[in-house]
Amino acid sequence: MSDTLLEVRDLSVRFVTDDGATQAVDRFSFSLAPGEVLGIVGESGCGKSVTMMSLLRLLPETAAVTGEAVFQGNDLLSAPPAALRRVRGREISFVFQEPMTSLNPAFTVGRQIAEVLQKHLGLSRAEARRRAIELLDLVRIPAPERRLDEYPHQLSGGMRQRVMIAIALACDPKILIADEPTTALDVTIQAGILDLMRDIRNRLGTAIVLITHNLGVVADIADRVVVMYAGRKAEEAPVHELFAHPQHPYTIGLLGAIPRRGADRLQEIPGLVPALAAPLPHCAFAPRCPRADDLSRTQVPELREIRPAHLVACFHPGT
């Protein structure tokens, strides 16, 4: 496995609070190759964001994280805080869902981009400013010299998300983790942002982890897809394989919920993702699954490779 940038093994995240415990992620593993675009898909509350945030230890102290996440030979989950801060924003950077509130309202966008450059790359103010203009240009913001001196409230949502991406790309990271980067934006802007991310991968070779609940977005940009359900991996496959031959009933359910020409009604999956106090002793999807039987109600299905590079955790896979 020399061609692996990030290798996550048996990641579990548990929140322990006064109100009880919540198992957010349960023995989740995945790997990421350089320049790859990995889509992580699932409903709200299935542990996508928590998984990614736990990698850079961005979760509150109430989260107990176990497992390992090896990046360039070091385990991020046990790295000392100072080493971790050098990885954050420098090697692995984040773009969050809320572009409206993710920029500091007290400073111009130029200073906020420059701040990361000065901190991580030790650039002078003038150099940082020049580079900030290049970055704004890279994320296709018109008249970057002018925008640099504007405050976040003067920019639109799409513009701000582009600035967030510019900040994330400032130090030329190896991995860009984008957590629902387009959800808060309207559809035309979404397409532009996705287009931009694809372009960035092609030009800079940045690996991208795209967290989304929108399979349409994944189909558009991802190379490989991981479907998550209730903190576990339900299915993993290259994007074309997944869309052509979905195996897990949950994936099939998600695909049924994409609007399509000709379909009169969207199919929904009944019920909600369960909030778990402890890992379930059976298939987590069983209560909502049309194929559930005694086996899936009593045992946890392990991941199996049923086609090349196509993993499914289901006792009754099939399209």
Partner 1 sequence: MSYVDVSAADIAPADALSPRARRRRLLRRRIARRPFAVAGFFVALAFALAAILAPWIAPYSASTQDYNAILAHASRDHWFGTDELGRDILSRIIWGARASIVAGVLATMLAMAIALPIGLVAGYYRGWIDSVISRVTDVLLAFPFLILAVGLAVILGPSLMNATIALGLGAAPGLIRVTRGETLALREEDYVRAAVANGAGDATILFRHIVPNMTSTLLVQITVTIPAAIIGEAVLSFLGLGVQPPTPSWGVMLADAQSYLSLAPRLAVYPGVAIFLCALAYNLLGDGLRDVLDPRTTR
Point out which residues bind partner 1 (CB under 8 A).
Answer: 56, 58, 85-90, 93-94, 96, 98, 101-107, 115-116, 119-120, 146, 149-151, 153-154, 164, 167-168
Nearest to 300 by CA among 317, 290, 289, 286: 286
- Return the ∠ at Cα 200 (arms to 116 and 83), rounded to 5°: 35
Say if residues 65 and 56 touch (Cβ distance below 8 Å).
Answer: no
In degrees rounded to 5, what are phi and psi of residue 113?
A: -70, -45
Q: How far is the CB of 101 from partner 1 (least distance, A)?
A: 4
Q: Which residue, 138 or 148, has its beta carbon nearer to partner 1?
A: 148
Q: Give min distance, CB of 154 to partner 1, in A.
A: 7
**Cβ 238 to partner 1, closest distance in Å?**
29
Beta bridge partners of 14: 23, 64
Q: Which is nearer to partner 1, 170 or 314 (CB)?
A: 170
Phi, psi of 224 (to 5 degrees): -140, 150
12/93 with CB nearer partner 1: 93
Closest to partner 1 by CB, 59 or 306? 59
Identify which of residues 176 and 273 has a Cβ nearer to partner 1 in the complex: 176
Sign of the four-CA dihedral 223, 229, 231, 234? negative
**CA distances from residue 240 to 108, 212, 292 in whole angstroms, order as listed:** 42, 17, 26
Q: Give me the least distance between CB of 179 and partner 1, in Å please.
A: 10
Q: How far is the CB of 231 from partner 1 (least distance, A)?
A: 22
CB of 3 to partner 1, least distance (A): 26
In the complex with partner 1, the residue whose CB is nearer, 119 or 316, is 119
- Location of structure tokens 């990030």: 6
Least gap, CB of 257 to partner 1 (angstroms) = 28
Structure tokens at 183: 């959800």
Query: Of 106 and 126, which CB lies nearer to partner 1 in the complex structure?
Result: 106
Nearest distance from C-beta of residue 108 to partner 1, angstroms: 8
Taking the least distance from each CB to partner 1, the nearer of 25 and 53 is 53
Which helix (H) or strand (E) segment is 136 a member of? helix 125-138
Element (DSSP H or E) covering residue 233 = strand 232-238
- Alpha carbons 236 and 238: distance in angstroms, whole number: 7
Secondary-structure breakdown of the chain: helix, strand, coil percentages, each rounded to the nearest 5: 35, 25, 40
CB of 88 to partner 1, least distance (A): 4
Q: Among residues 108 and 212, whose Cβ is nearest to partner 1?
A: 108
| DSSP secondary structure, 154-194, as one string | GS-HHHHHHHHHHHHHTT--SEEEEESTTTTS-HHHHHHHH
Contact 163, 194 (CB under 8 A): no
